[in-house]
C-alpha cells in the first residue's frame, strides 16, 4: 500500500470495470501457445496511444491510429503474435484493415472502435485464413477473468507474462488501473519500445488520457533498453471505460494526483518487467543520474549508460569496470563537468569528483553477481535527475537472435 494507491495482487487488465479479454491459438506460432488475443470493453472507451518513431511502421499502427483519431474511443483491441505484419506492402495494410473488420463483426462494435496490433517476424504476410478462423473463435474465448490468456497471446521471445494492477480512490470510489505488456528484444527508448495495454474504469476524456499517457511514456517506457533496436511495431494503448464513477478526471480534480501516480506506477512496473525479461538477460540494471543541468541531459545520459554494450557486458561478467560508465557519460551528447563526476555501484563508491576511489573488488564482484544492479552517476551541475532501466548482454542474447526467424 502506498499513500496514493494500492497494488492489487493478482489483478489484471480485466480488473477495471467494463473490460473482458481472452486469447487462443490459431496457428500463427509453431508452438501451441496462444497467438491471438483481444481486449473488449462493454462501452466505447476513451482511448489514447503512442507509437514507434521507426520510419518503417507496421500496417496495424496505421489502422489503430486511424481508429482512435475518429472520435478518441476504442471498444476492442485485437492483437496477434508470431507475425509482425510489417514491411508487407499494400497486402499487409489490407490484412490489417480486414482484421479490424473481422473483430468489429465478431463483437458487434463499430468499425472505428477497433484497434489492431501485431508482433513477431517482419516481412512475412499474415496467413489470413488462420486469422479469420481465430477471430471467429474469440467471442467464445473472452471472459471477465481472461487477463492471463490475453497476456499469453501477446508473447514472442518473452519468458514471462507482464501484468499489474492498482486501486485508487477517486471521489470516494474504488478506481482500478491495470496494464499488460510484451517485450524482450528489439527494445530501445524511443516512444513505446514494445506493446503495452493499459485499462482503467476511471472517467477521463481521450485528450486527458493522451496527455497522461505521453507524460508517463517519457519517464517509463522511453527509459528502457535491451539491445538498442527500435521495433517497427512498438505501441502503447490506454483505454478508459468510465464505468466506475467518481467524477471526470482532469488536472483540477482533487484525486487526479493519486490517479496519475497509480497510472505512472503501472507504466514503470511494465517497463522494468520488460527490461528484466530482456532476451538472454540474467539481471535488471538501473541507472540513476542526478545533478544534471536539464531533464533532457539527465535522460540522455541515463539512456546512454544503460544502452552501452560495454556497460551491459561488464555487468554480465560482474566486472566493476567504471571506466565504461564514465565513457558513456562523456559521449551522451550533453556537456558535463569532467572534474565533478561521482559513480557508485550500489553503495560501492568507485569514482569521486572524477577521481578513482580504492574499493573492495571482492565486495564489488559479489554485488554485480546479483540479479539487480544499480548504477549511480552524480554530475554536480544542477538539480535534474532521471532513471533508466536495462539488462545485461549475454551469450544467450546472440544465440536467440542468430536464429530468430529460422
pLDDT, tens only, 123-177: 899 999 999 999 999 999 999 999 999 989 987 766 667 899 999 999 999 999 9
Cell of 128: 489470413
Q: Is residue 107, in this structure, part of any structural domain at all?
A: yes
Q: Is residue 374, in this structure, part of any structural domain at all?
A: yes
**Which residues partner with 386 through β-bridges?**
289
Q: Is 405 exposed, middle or buried (0-12, 13-18, 19+ CB in 10 A)?
A: exposed
Q: Is residue 152, in this structure, part of any structural domain at all?
A: yes
Instruction: Note whether 270 and 304 are same-domain residues.
Output: no
- Model pLDDT, residue 194: 74
Instruction: Note whether 264 and 309 are same-domain residues.
Output: no
**Higher-scoring residue by pLDDT: 165, 245:** 165
Q: Is residue 257, in this structure, part of any structural domain at all?
A: yes
Which range among 17-31, 213-227, 283-297 shows the weakest confidence by mean pLDDT? 213-227
Instruction: Note whether 125 and 268 are same-domain residues.
Output: yes
Q: Is residue 197, in this structure, part of any structural domain at all?
A: yes
Cα atoms in the 13 Å half-sphere on the side-chain side of 344:
11
pLDDT higher than 60, residue 32: yes
Phi/psi for 41 (5° steps) reads -110, 145
Q: Which domain holds residue 76?
A: 6-276
- Model pLDDT, residue 134: 97
What integer best gives the mean pLDDT of the chain?
A: 90
- Model pLDDT, residue 192: 39
Write b or e for each residue in 256-294: b if 16 or more Cβ atoms lie within 10 A of its Cβ, otherwise e.
bebbbbbbbbbbbbbbbbbbbbbbbbbbbbbbbbbbbbe
pLDDT, tens only, 67-83: 999 999 999 999 999 89
Query: Residue 140 to residues 13, 99, 134, 148: CA-CA distances in angstroms?
Result: 18, 17, 11, 15
Which CATH number covers residue 55? 3.60.70.12
| Positions marked active-site | 193
Q: In terms of Cα–Cα distance, which of 195, 168, 158 is closest to 84? A: 195
Instruction: Note whether 79 and 106 are same-domain residues.
Output: yes
Which CATH number covers residue 340? 3.10.20.340
Instruction: Note whether 52 and 198 are same-domain residues.
Output: yes
pLDDT, tens only, 276-307: 766 667 889 999 999 999 999 999 999 999 98
Q: Is residue 199, in this structure, part of any structural domain at all?
A: yes
Cell of 212: 497522461
- Model pLDDT, residue 404: 60
Q: Is residue 1, in this structure, part of any structural domain at all?
A: no
Pairing state between β 355-356 and 348-352 = antiparallel
Instruction: Note whether 166 and 139 are same-domain residues.
Output: yes
Domain count across the chain: 2
Boundary (domain end) residue, out of 276, 305, 331: 276
Boundary (domain end) residue, out of 229, 244, 276: 276
Instruction: Note whether 333 and 255 are same-domain residues.
Output: no
Boundary (domain end) residue, out of 276, 310, 328: 276
- Model pLDDT, residue 69: 94
Dihedral of CA 13/15/20/21: which sign? positive
Find cell 474504488 and name the residue: 174
- Decide: 322 and 351 in contact? Cβ < 8 Å: yes
Give the predicted TM-score (pTM) of the model.
0.84
Which range among 81-90, 270-279, 313-322, 362-371 shows the weakest confidence by mean pLDDT? 270-279
Instruction: Note whether 250 and 197 are same-domain residues.
Output: yes
Cell of 80: 496477434
**Higher-scoring residue by pLDDT: 218, 78:** 78
Q: Is residue 85, in this structure, part of any structural domain at all?
A: yes
- Mean pLDDT score, 356-381: 96
Amino acid at each position: 500500500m502506498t499513500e496514493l494507491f494500492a497494488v492489487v495482487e493478482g489483478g489484471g487488465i480485466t480488473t477495471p470495470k467494463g473490460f473482458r479479454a481472452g486469447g487462443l491459438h490459431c496457428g500463427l506460432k509453431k508452438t501451441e501457445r496462444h497467438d491471438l488475443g483481444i481486449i473488449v470493453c462493454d462501452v466505447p472507451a476513451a482511448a489514447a496511444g503512442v507509437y514507434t518513431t521507426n520510419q518503417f511502421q507496421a500496417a496495424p499502427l496505421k489502422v489503430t491510429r486511424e481508429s482512435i483519431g475518429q472520435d478518441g474511443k476504442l471498444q476492442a483491441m485485437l492483437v496477434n503474435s508470431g507475425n509482425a505484419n510489417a514491411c508487407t506492402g499494400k497486402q499487409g495494410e489490407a490484412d490489417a484493415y480486414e482484421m479490424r473488420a473481422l473483430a468489429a463483426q465478431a463483437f458487434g462494435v463499430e468499425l472505428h472502435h477497433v484497434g489492431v496490433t501485431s508482433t513477431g517476424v517482419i516481412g512475412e504476410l499474415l496467413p489470413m485464413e488462420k486469422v479469420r478462423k481465430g477471430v471467429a473463435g474469440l467471442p467464445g474465448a473472452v471472459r471477465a477473468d481472461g487477463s492471463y490468456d490475453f497476456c499469453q497471446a501477446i508473447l514472442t521471445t518473452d519468458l514471462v507474462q507482464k501484468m499489474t494492477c492498482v486501486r485508487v480512490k477517486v471521489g470516494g470510489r474504488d478506481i482500478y488501473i491495470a496494464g499488460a505488456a510484451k517485450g524482450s528484444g528489439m527494445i530501445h527508448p524511443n516512444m513505446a519500445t514494445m506493446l503495452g495495454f493499459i485499462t482503467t474504469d476511471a472517467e477521463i476524456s481521450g485528450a486527458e488520457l493522451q496527455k497522461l499517457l505521453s507524460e508517463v511514456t517519457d519517464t517509463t517506457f522511453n527509459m528502457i533498453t535491451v539491445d538498442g533496436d527500435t521495433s517497427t511495431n512498438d505501441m502503447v494503448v490506454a483505454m478508459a471505460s468510465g464505468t466506475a464513477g467518481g467524477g471526470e478526471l482532469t488536472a483540477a480534480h482533487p484525486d487526479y494526483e493519486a490517479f496519475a501516480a497509480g497510472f505512472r506506477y503501472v507504466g514503470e512496473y511494465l517497463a522494468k518487467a520488460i527490461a528484466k525479461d530482456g532476451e538472454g538477460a540474467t539481471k535488471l540494471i538501473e541507472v540513476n543520474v542526478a545533478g544534471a543541468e536539464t531533464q533532457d541531459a539527465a535522460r540522455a545520459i541515463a539512456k546512454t549508460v544503460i544502452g552501452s554494450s560495454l556497460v551491459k557486458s561488464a555487468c554480465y561478467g560482474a566486472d566493476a569496470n567504471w571506466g565504461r560508465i564514465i565513457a558513456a557519460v562523456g559521449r551522451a551528447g550533453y556537456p558535463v563537468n569532467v572534474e565533478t563526476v561521482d559513480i557508485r555501484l550500489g553503495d560501492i563508491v568507485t569514482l569521486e569528483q572524477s577521481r578513482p576511489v580504492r574499493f573492495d573488488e571482492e565486495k564489488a564482484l559479489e554485488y554485480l553477481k546479483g540479479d539487480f544492479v544499480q548504477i549511480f552517476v552524480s554530475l554536480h551541475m544542477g538539480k535534474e535527475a532521471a532513471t533508466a532501466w536495462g539488462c545485461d548482454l549475454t551469450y544467450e542474447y546472440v544465440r536467440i537472435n542468430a536464429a530468430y526467424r529460422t
